[in-house]
Amino acid sequence: MTDTPEARTPNAVDLHVGGRVRMRRKMLNMSQEHLADALGLTFQQVQKYERGANRVSASKLYEIAKTLQVPVSFFFDGLADPVTNENDDVGAADRIVTEFLNTPEGMELAEMFPKIGRGRVRRQVLDLVRAMAEESSPRDAS
């Protein structure tokens, strides 16, 4: 086994599964410690699963699904079909939402945004975020 940077890079599927574990855990307002206790693990192991640093075994994924009250397939939603290698539009949208919710601020923003009662204010928030994203875009550096 080589110790090259490529060998230390988490597998894309492990990153996706870990991100889905994190997203669901946060949706349930469950701490890493609580999930770890329910699974008989340390919270550090849960952290490694969520970062994709450690792979989740099939039996552990089954336990995680049971604890987080989702079907095992939930953790693979948004990945390309391994037989056809095709993604559908729902998968693409799901990836965008997953990436957003996996940021430290994404879950909180997603939770708070619907609490803004006025549509006009929500639109202004969206316009602000859009302008900030365009300003920090690497395309604008030219």
137: number of Cβ within 10 Å: 9
Residue 53 lies in a domain: yes
Residue 111 lies in a domain: yes
Residue 30 lies in a domain: yes
State whether 84 and 110 are in the same domain. Answer: no
Place of tokens 């989702």: 70
Given a cut of 50, is residue 27 above it in pLDDT?
yes
Two tokens at 3? 């110790």
Residue 118 lies in a domain: yes
Residue 95 lies in a domain: no
State whether 83 and 125 are in the same domain. Answer: no
Per the structure, how many domains does the chain have? 2
CATH of the domain at 10: 1.10.260.40
Given a cut of 60, is residue 141 above it in pLDDT?
no
CA dist 49 and 21 (Å) reads 8
State whether 12 and 70 are in the same domain. Answer: yes
Residue 29 lies in a domain: yes
The per-residue pLDDT for range 34-89, each reduced to its tens digit, is 999 999 999 999 999 998 999 999 999 999 999 999 999 999 887 877 887 776 55
State whether 58 and 11 are in the same domain. Answer: yes
Which residue would you say has higher pLDDT here, 139 or 95? 95
CA dist 107 and 130 (Å) reads 18
State whether 18 and 65 are in the same domain. Answer: yes
21 in Cβ contact with 56 (< 8 Å):
yes
Average pLDDT, the chain: 84
CA dist 30 and 62 (Å) reads 18
Domain limits for position 52: 1-88
CA dist 126 and 3 (Å) reads 44
